[in-house]
Amino acid sequence: MRRSGRSLVLHVVLGAGLVLTVMPLLWMASASLMPAGEANTFPPRLWPSRATFEHYVALFTRLDLARHLMNSAIVAVGATLISIVVNGMAGYAFAKLRFGPRDRLFRVLLAALVIPGQVGMLPLFLMLQKIGLVNTLVGAMIPGLAPIFSIFMVRQYALGIPDELLDAARIDGASELRIYWTIVMPLLKPILATLATFTFLTMWNDFMWPLIVLSDDRNYTLPVALANLVGEHVQDTELMMAGSVLTVLPVMIVFVALQRAYIRGVTMGAIKG
Amino acid sequence: MSRARSQGRAAWLFVGPALGLIGVFFALPVIAGLVLSLTDFDLYAIGDVRNARFVGLGNYARVLGAQEFWNAAGNTFYFVIVGGPLSVLASLVAALLVSSRLTRFQALFRSVFFVPVVTTLVAVSIVWRYLYHPHYGLVDWALGGIGIPPIDWLGDPRWAKPAIILLAVWKNFGYNMLIFVAGLQSIPDELYEAADLDGAGWWPRFRHITAPGLGPTFLFVGLMTMLGQFQLFAEPYVMTQGGPLQSTTTIVLMMYQQGFRWWRMGMAAAIAFVLFVIMLIGTAVQLRLQRGSQA
């Protein structure tokens, strides 16, 4: 085949892939604007006969989705802030500070990566129940606070900080905490941005743990509220699509804004793995 | 000397919070889980721990003897063995197409293919539930266009698993695609230029340059995809609740139902550890297979 012919075929295939990829999301957005009942017709409609925001209004008035939006934001932002502070410091220390069992400790952590999260979920639930964190947003944050992979990610990046820089500051009499704050943190900014994006998206999208730990529907995060809602409103396709748009939109915005940081994280895991 | 010691002290301060969180919220629960799996901890024990009794390996025996568990394990293996490779294949094809020298707007295609990855699994599972509707869904309507009669995707035990796999592939292929793209970029251009001089066609170039160059990437992607498939939960929970006829109940879904619907915590903990062991075996098998094929 000639080069131009091959190129044509290639772009047709890619274009088809593009359509298949965005179709479900476009239909979600389109159906969310349809008048009630219009998404359940045959043949299926691709566009609303007239766009209406009634389902979004219903979500915020009748169904109080603003509360769940808020819960999700608190869980995702809270876990992200704590994660940056805690894992930033730990990752740096594992890369650059000398202390007795450092390397052995780090190997133990890496080995623990093979343990799937579900193994600890049941006892964690019982423990949190004892200390009163079941059915709280803090309880929902817990899996995002110090995942071992986050420490690993920061450590790999921090290995690239030159020791001379740190030693020079030490000779000047700066304390380790001050060195971290004034010298290391600015250098770690890119990886901390990656960590923040990762944590935020993971926590926003998380389902199983919040489903377990949040029992009162006032405290549900968006995904849990949505899964609950579909049980009662399965016939209200347009309403459910509006709820889905509302759940997906914030992460899409964060992703578009911080795309570079996120993608660095995706490929970083692979290079080391 | 004193500087080294002060550095050591500072280091503990730095790693302390993270290690504390990992210890309390991860290590401790894992160990407690092992103990829990050896007891008959249930609803009565939640009220008063003294109602829990030590039952040795009783839970494990019951789990491994239960038809229900082997059904869930069978479903999970289906997702791992069919869904896993399909997902990796889709990612590889997408990566090759997107990185082809002939492709224009590479960044655009890459970004769009990646979009489903960042979406919320629960939300898109709900969307696909409607897409799969036998009367009003777009999937059957599109298939009808090429003469295929409607399929009750989520209501037919034969089709529910493929339907969930299709959703999972759509949702995830962009992630591994990016990893493959990074892997492709690490293959030196000179190798392809040399192949061009030899007049090598598409397949020999793929077989002798691309595939070996992607070796380590394959290992990583294969492993991560497999582990993800073993832990499938939200898709069946939202789309089918494990049905129809338990055909989409996975091991994790069964664990959730035993533990948090029926409050058989001891039993559920045993299921979790059995899954852990299965995943370890799966990892070992895959490492061996892939090492073997590369040698």
Q: Is B142 exposed, middle or buried (0-12, 13-18, 19+ CB in 10 A)?
A: middle
Q: Rounded distance, CA B113 to CA B122, Å? A: 19
Q: What is the pLDDT of residues A51-69, one digit of tens each?
A: 999 999 999 998 889 999 9
Looking up tokens 């036998």 gives B134
CA atoms within 13 A on the CB side of B39: 20
* Parent domain of B282: 66-294
Residue B39 lies in a domain: no
Q: Cβ contacts of residue A75 below 8 Å, gap of 6+?
A: A137, A140, A141, A144, A203, A204, A210, A221
Question: Regarding predicted confidence, which is higher, A113 or B2?
Answer: A113
In a mutagenesis test of the B interface, which of A87, A121, A152, A249 is the best target, namely the one with the most B β-carbons within 10 Å? A121
For residue A272, pLDDT beyond 80: no
Q: Which residues of A232-252 are buried (b: 16+ CB within 10 A; e: fewer)?
A: eeeebbbbbbbbbbbbbebbb
Q: What is the pLDDT of residues A115-128, one digit of tens each?
A: 999 999 999 999 99
Q: What is the mean pLDDT of residues A125-154?
A: 93
CA-nearest of B153, B172, B162, B163 to B87 is B172
Q: Rounded distance, CA B249 to CA B237, Å? A: 8
> Could you tell me if B153 and B160 are in contact, meaning their C-beta atoms sit under 8 angstroms apart?
yes
Q: Rounded distance, CA A51 to CA A33, Å? A: 5
- Searching chain B, which residue's CA lies closest to the CA of residue A96? B11
CA-nearest of A263, A146, A219, A145 to B117 is A263
Residue B22 lies in a domain: no
Q: Walk along chain B (295 residues) and give the pLDDT tens digit of each residue.
A: 466 777 888 899 999 999 999 999 999 999 999 999 999 998 888 888 888 889 999 999 999 999 999 999 999 999 999 999 999 999 999 999 999 888 888 889 999 999 999 999 999 999 999 999 988 899 999 999 899 999 999 999 999 999 999 999 999 999 999 999 999 988 888 888 888 888 878 888 888 888 888 888 888 899 999 999 999 999 999 999 998 999 999 999 999 999 999 999 999 999 999 999 999 999 999 888 877 766 4
> Could you tell me if B289 and B81 are in contact, meaning their C-beta atoms sit under 8 angstroms apart?
no
Please give the structure tokens belonging to residue B240.
Answer: 């089918």
Output the CA torsion A129→A133→A137→A138 (10° steps): -130
Question: Regarding predicted confidence, which is higher, B136 or A82?
Answer: A82
Q: What is the mean pLDDT of residues A101-105?
A: 92
Q: Rounded distance, CA B171 to CA A41, Å? A: 26
Can you give the CATH number for the domain in which B117 is found? 1.10.3720.10
**What is the pLDDT, as a whole number, of residue B22?**
96
DSSP label of A47:
S
Work out how many domains chain B is built from and give that number.
1
CA-nearest of B274, B250, B254 to B264 is B254
Residue A269 pLDDT level (bands cut at 50, 70, 90): low
Please state, rounded to an integer, the average pLDDT across all residues of chain A: 91
Please give the structure tokens belonging to residue A260.
Answer: 């570079």
0.90 exceeded by the pTM? yes
Residue of B6, B127, B268 lying closest to A122 (CB–CB): B268
Output the CA torsion B56→B25→B43→B55 (10° steps): 0
What CATH number labels A54-272? 1.10.3720.10
Which residues in chain B have Cβ-Cβ distances shorter than 8 Å to A18?
A: 109, 112-113
- The one-letter code for the residue type at A270 is A
Which residues in chain A have Cβ-Cβ distances shorter than 8 Å to B170?
A: 20-21, 24
Helix (H, G, I), strand (E, B) or coil at A100: coil
**What is the pLDDT, as a whole number, of residue A273?**
37
Which of residues 85 through 114 in chain A touch B, CB cutoff 8 A?
85-87, 89-90, 92-94, 97-100, 102, 105, 109, 112, 114
Which residues in chain B have Cβ-Cβ distances shorter than 8 Å to A263?
A: 114, 178
Indicate yes or no: CB of B223 within 8 angstroms of CB of A115.
Answer: no
Indicate yes or no: CB of B123 within 8 angstroms of CB of A24.
Answer: no
Residue B97 lies in a domain: yes
Indicate yes or no: CB of B17 within 8 angstroms of CB of A86.
Answer: yes
Interface size A-B, in CB pairs within 8 Å, comes to 276
Min Cα distance A66 → chain B (Å) is 16
Q: Rounded distance, CA B275 to CA B258, Å? A: 14
In a mutagenesis test of the A interface, which of B6, B15, B48 is the best target, namely the one with the most A β-carbons within 10 Å? B15
Looking up tokens 């964190």 gives A133
Q: What is the mean pLDDT of residues A186-204?
A: 94
Which of residues 52 through 81 in chain A touch B, CB cutoff 8 A?
none
Min Cα distance A39 → chain B (Å) is 8
- The one-letter code for the residue type at B25 is F
In a mutagenesis test of the B interface, which of A6, A28, A118 is the best target, namely the one with the most B β-carbons within 10 Å? A118
Which residues in chain B have Cβ-Cβ distances shorter than 8 Å to A241?
A: 127, 130
Domain ranges of chain A: 54-272
Residue of B94, B102, B122 lying closest to A226 (CB–CB): B122
Please give the structure tokens belonging to residue A70.
Answer: 């808020």
- Searching chain B, which residue's CA lies closest to the CA of residue A105? B19
For residue A271, pLDDT beyond 60: no
Q: Rounded distance, CA B117 to CA B125, Å? A: 13
Terminus-to-terminus CA distance in chain A, angstroms? 39
Indicate yes or no: CB of A266 within 8 angstroms of CB of B22.
Answer: no
- Least confident range of A17-26, A158-167, B90-99, B215-224: B215-224
Which residues in chain A have Cβ-Cβ distances shorter than 8 Å to B132?
A: none
Residue A79 pLDDT level (bands cut at 50, 70, 90): very high
The 10 Å Cβ neighbour count of residue A152 is 21
Q: Rounded distance, CA A238 to CA A242, Å? A: 6
Please give the structure tokens belonging to residue A42.
Answer: 């045959």
> Could you tell me if B59 and B266 are in contact, meaning their C-beta atoms sit under 8 angstroms apart?
yes
